[in-house]
Amino acid sequence: MKKRNILGLTTSGHGFSAALCVEGKIVAANSLERLSRKKYDILLPISKTDLNTFGWNDNPAIYKQHIDLPFDLEKDYSEVDFGKLEGFRRLMDHVLNAAGIGLDDIDCVAYSYRHNGNVKRFFEERIPGAEFIVPEHHLSHACQAFLPSPFEEAAVMVLDGQGVPMKRTGYDQLSGCLAQGSGNRIETIVEFPVSASLGGLYAEVTRLCGFQTNEEGKTMGLAPYGTPKIYEQVKGEIRLGEGAGLRLRDLKRLFSPGDRPKEKLYSLGNCMGFLQKFEPRQKDEPFSDDHKDLAFMAQQIVEDVMIYLAKWLREKTGSKNLCIAGGVGLNCVANFKVLDNSGFDSIFVYPSASDNGLAVGQALYIHNLVDGFERAYRTTHDYMGAPYTETDIRKAVESCREDADVVITEFREMKPLYGTMAQAIETGKITSWWQGRSEFGPRALGNRSILADPRDPDMKDVLNSRVKFRESYRPFTPSVLAERAGEFFELNTPSPFMLLAPGVKPGKENVIPAVTHVDNTARVQTVTRDVNERYYDLIREFEIHTGIPMVLNTSFSIAGEPIVESPQDAVRCFLSTGIDVLGLDRFFIEKRTPE
């Protein structure tokens, strides 16, 4: 059988993404938000058709009240021609261009969640003969977790908010599963009903803390400021253990005889009901003790359950390797505690762990599980966006020259540029760094990053006030040369995608205060030269200047906006904020009058 060109397409409340699998390898992936410049862009508002898809028909008003995404329950979008939607066309062009193939070259489309009818019609009209497959949501997450991992075999943990109602579960939704992967096979061991949704619990606490949908990362940052007070009140609701909280309804509806093992493993009891007594924080209102304690509680429960499940999986599968995906997998604090406490030697968390990364999971599902090919792809980096030409870059540089009072230097060689950048960082300048292809996942990993000096105790406040315009309590990340990470962090495993948050070693907190969180952890990115030569060499240069083998890294964006994508986006963000310096490919651009 020929290796098919597979397009993975996914849209949920988290965004709209596409990935291309060519010759069994993921060669391109990106999300609509980066191209449309609208954060969490879901293409079309949540409509009546979506209520069916999500299983929300019972009481749409509740969802509307709890989820701040665009809703339009009056209009029927099921007949909308996606060929006429600019955002959809741009996303298609972007990934096809990055993969170097045309629309006609696609053999198979794996799509999911919303707009299945529209997507099918779009491709049927344009690519006769292409096959359409709608893989199961959590199996696709398991594929996303395991198939691109470095492991030949591994235990797999998938946890999120909710999937889609399925016939085989009596039209119940799931909120996760545990599985085992080996070669190109994945076996589901146990599935979790939506009543046990860790993602749902975390999302609700996120709302109560006054954050918006998809801003769970803010709750994670707030959690260490809280106390265990609320957690102590609610923890009796949480049951851990085989058969815990098993209800007849779940047995009947979820686990039909012979379908799946009947362990339920954990239950959240009436946690959600308990939350009803709290009022959501209003925008711009200060955090009350309750809000901080709620964040603490959600984080603690997620950690308790994940550690329990990981230990159970370790014993059940005998594997030493753990793969994680689903939105909860973006919780780098919990991921590290799982690794530290469950007996696994190695962990892999797919960098785009939430629903956006399903585009990749679905495409690999087709290639490896349906078509049966051996795994030929391993995720070693996350730079999956389309490349830009020298003309694109020069055009952006020229527009910068026209629009602002800047000094522009073009470097023939990169090495002197690293020296100039390192010196700018060392002297307290806020710098930005745009290079190569964009990151697919939510973390900037050195191609679309704002960089600053991790040694400066005031740098957090400076960045927040001059550039990011974001909440002061949120931590910034260190990007550290991989071979030196152990000197600064309690970390003896790679963390290339910023999805582990180990402790900062005693005595080092004061050396790198700008990247040490209030609980003395840091969301580390380990950088190796084979994965990102330019970023590695820049950090190395900073190390030569200062003795510190890391820089502070935060995404090249301002609050409320997606990470910059094109060189033009980079110039725009640079000029509209207090960033002093832009390293754009071979160009070093500095504002003449720093703000």
Q: What's the min distance (Å) between Cβ of 460 and Fe ion?
A: 32
Q: What's the min distance (Å) between Cβ of 163 and Fe ion?
A: 6
Q: What's the min distance (Å) between Cβ of 187 and Fe ion?
A: 19
Output 138 or 429, the one with its CB closest to Fe ion: 138
Long-range Cβ pairs for the range 256-262 (8 Å, 24+): 256/168, 256/170, 259/168, 260/188, 260/190, 260/191, 261/189, 261/190
Output 139 or 298, the one with its CB closest to Fe ion: 139
Output 10 or 267, the one with its CB closest to Fe ion: 10
Should residue 453 be labelled a site residue for Fe ion when binding is judged by CB under 5 A?
A: no
Give the interface segment with Fe ion, choosing from 69-77, 159-167, 201-209, 258-266 (CB under 5 A). Answer: 159-167
Q: What's the min distance (Å) between Cβ of 137 and Fe ion?
A: 6
β-pairing, 174-182 vs 153-159, is antiparallel
* Binding residues among 551-580 for Fe ion as defined by CB under 5 A: none
Of 473, 586, 479, the C-alpha closest to 524 is: 479
Residue nearest to Fe ion (CB): 160
Q: What's the min distance (Å) between Cβ of 50 and Fe ion?
A: 15
- Sequence-ordered list of residues with C-beta below 8 angstroms from that of 220, at least 6 positions apart, any chain: 295, 299, 331, 332, 333
Q: How many CB atoms lie within 10 A of CB 190?
A: 20
Output 66 or 252, the one with its CB closest to Fe ion: 66
The answer to whether the beta carbons of residues 163 and 173 sit under 8 Å apart is yes
- Sequence-ordered list of residues with C-beta below 8 angstroms from that of 273, at least 6 positions apart, any chain: none
- Sequence-ordered list of residues with C-beta below 8 angstroms from that of 249, at least 6 positions apart, any chain: none
DSSP state of 365: I
- Helix or strand (DSSP H, E) at 96: helix 86-99
Burial of 533 (0-12, 13-18, 19+ CB in 10 A): middle
How many chain residues are in contact with Fe ion, going by CB under 5 A?
2
Q: How many helices (H) and strands (E) does the chain have?
A: 20, 20
| Amino acid, single-letter form, for residue 363 | A
Output 155 or 194, the one with its CB closest to Fe ion: 194
Angle, helices 332-341/289-317, rounded to nearest 10 degrees: 40
Of 383, 375, 504, the C-alpha closest to 439 is: 383
d(CA 181, CA 280): 41
Output 203 or 467, the one with its CB closest to Fe ion: 203
Give the interface segment with Fe ion, choosing from 60-68, 83-91, 153-161, 176-184 (CB under 5 A). Answer: 153-161
Give the interface segment with Fe ion, choosing from 21-29, 58-66, 152-160, 438-446 (CB under 5 A). Answer: 152-160
Three-class SS state of 25: strand
Can you read off the two tokens belonging to residue 107? 């053999």
Should residue 191 be labelled a site residue for Fe ion when binding is judged by CB under 5 A?
A: no
Q: What's the min distance (Å) between Cβ of 213 and Fe ion?
A: 14
Output 144 or 180, the one with its CB closest to Fe ion: 144
Q: What's the min distance (Å) between Cβ of 53 and Fe ion?
A: 13
Q: What's the min distance (Å) between Cβ of 157 and Fe ion?
A: 13
Output 355 or 569, the one with its CB closest to Fe ion: 355
Can you read off the two tokens belonging to residue 497? 């995608």
Output 307 or 328, the one with its CB closest to Fe ion: 328
Binding track, positions 345-364, relative to Fe ion; x by CB under 5 A: ----------x---------
Q: What's the min distance (Å) between Cβ of 120 and Fe ion?
A: 21
Binding track, positions 412-441, relative to Fe ion; x by CB under 5 A: ------------------------------
Output 50 or 561, the one with its CB closest to Fe ion: 50
Q: What's the min distance (Å) between Cβ of 327 and Fe ion?
A: 6
Can you read off the two tokens belonging to residue 68? 């701040």
Q: What's the min distance (Å) between Cβ of 162 and Fe ion?
A: 7
d(CA 246, CA 244): 5
d(CA 480, CA 443): 15
Q: What's the min distance (Å) between Cβ of 255 and Fe ion?
A: 20
The answer to whether the beta carbons of residues 499 and 526 sit under 8 Å apart is no
Should residue 160 be labelled a site residue for Fe ion when binding is judged by CB under 5 A?
A: yes
Output 163 or 478, the one with its CB closest to Fe ion: 163
The answer to whether the beta carbons of residues 329 and 349 sit under 8 Å apart is yes
Q: What's the min distance (Å) between Cβ of 158 and Fe ion?
A: 8
Positive or negative, the CA dihedral 155, 297, 494, 356 is positive
Output 137 or 572, the one with its CB closest to Fe ion: 137
Output 160 or 561, the one with its CB closest to Fe ion: 160
Residues that bind Fe ion (CB under 5 A): 160, 355
